[in-house]
Amino acid sequence: MWETLNLVRVYTKPRGLAPDYSSPVVLRRGKCTVEDFCNAIHKEIAKQMKYAIVWGASAKHARGQKVGLDHVLEDEDVVHIAKK
């Protein structure tokens, strides 16, 4: 269903806690960068972001990858935002 509708589920991970798989942030494929993810949560987060750590299909490493605003997210990725 998610692939047919071209939707991507991205999960949040607060610092020191397990990822929250109960309520994903849903983005459209093609508009699923870290910046789009931040704007879906709150418009100020992208301005305050220092970097993001991503786990999942779009990350190069299983332990997480440090990325910037232009990183493209895949379905069921987990993202932690580090602020300045």
The per-residue pLDDT of the chain, averaged, comes to: 91
Mean pLDDT of 38-49: 92
- Alpha-carbon distance values, 70 to 22, 46, 64, 81 (Å): 26, 11, 16, 14
Is residue 70's pLDDT more than 80? Answer: yes
pLDDT tier at 5 (50, 70, 90 boundaries)?
A: confident
Q: What is the pTM of this model?
A: 0.89
Residue by residue, DSSP assigns 43-70 as TTHHHHEEEEEEESTT-SSTT-EEE-TT
